[in-house]
Chain A
Amino acid sequence: EAGVAQSPRYKIIEKRQSVAFWCNPISGHATLYWYQQILGQGPKLLIQFQNNGVVDDSQLPKDRFSAERLKGVDSTLKIQPAKLEDSAVYLCASSDPPGGSTDTQYFGPGTRLTVL
């Protein structure tokens, strides 16, 4: 089965520009997560979707970050305007819904963002 797909793999922008990342989860996975991983740290949750509804966005900097998951499948994460501290790897993960056979999260390859 195909894994989690993300694009682009790499992005370099200047501060105050905007950027968007795309994620396509594993087919049939209802839950989708976006994590931010700053160099030398573990990933931290930005937002969690269950189908096309938001479950947890408490750690999303809503003044500059936004995310959507239209039709409960693909998702996009946007940063506008970007700051230097947004330089990180943005990881998308998906899992089966609660009550399913497993809720192990499977990750995509990530998008490495550099803000200059």
Chain B
Amino acid sequence: AQKITQTQPGMFVQEKEAVTLDCTYDTSDQSYGLFWYKQPSSGEMIFLIYQGSYDEQNATEGRYSLNFQKARKSANLVISASQLGDSAMYFCAFAPRDQAGTALIFGKGTTLSVSS
């Protein structure tokens, strides 16, 4: 069974600094997708970035980039130039592609706190 691990319960960073949120996964699948979501205190899950297992280049979306190391089975999120509004819970999620169900398997999340 697939498993997602986020080892950092909380991270603290100052405004304008970069921060890396760790995510490792365990799977024997060849085809899969990796997602990062942001969940502010209001509760909604906001999609940030996606990486497919066959994508050769790391995904980037504005200030977000995904450091994908397939051999290590890691998919770390890098947020550049942190802003106060980045304070939230961040979830890494795995989506299998080799089966009919494509539901996301989430990690436990990392709380990011950005200070001025």
Contacts and interface: CB of A to CB of B under 8 A. Distances in A.
A98 B43 CA distance: 27
Interface string A91-115: 1010100100011111111101000
B100 interface: yes
Contacts of A45: 101, 103-104
B68 interface: no
Interface string B60-88: 00000000000000000000000000000
B44 A42 contact: no
A102 B42 CA distance: 26
B103 A103 contact: no
A3 to B, nearest CB: 9
Given A89-B43, A103-B33, A105-B47, A42 B108 contact: yes
Contacts of B50: 102, 104
Given A41-B108, A42-B107, A103-B95, A48 B47 contact: no
A14 interface: no
A31 interface: yes
A93 B103 CA distance: 10
Given A42-B108, A103-B95, A104-B50, A98 B45 contact: no
Contacts of A108: 44
Contacts of B45: 43, 91, 93, 107, 110
B107 to A, nearest CB: 6
Interface string A34-67: 0100001111110010000001100000000000
Interface of A: 31, 33, 35, 40-45, 48, 55-56, 89, 91, 93, 95, 98, 102-110, 112
5 contacts: A42-B108, A42-B109, A105-B47, A107-B47, A110-B44
Interface of B: 4, 33, 35, 37, 42-47, 50, 91, 93, 95, 100-104, 106-109
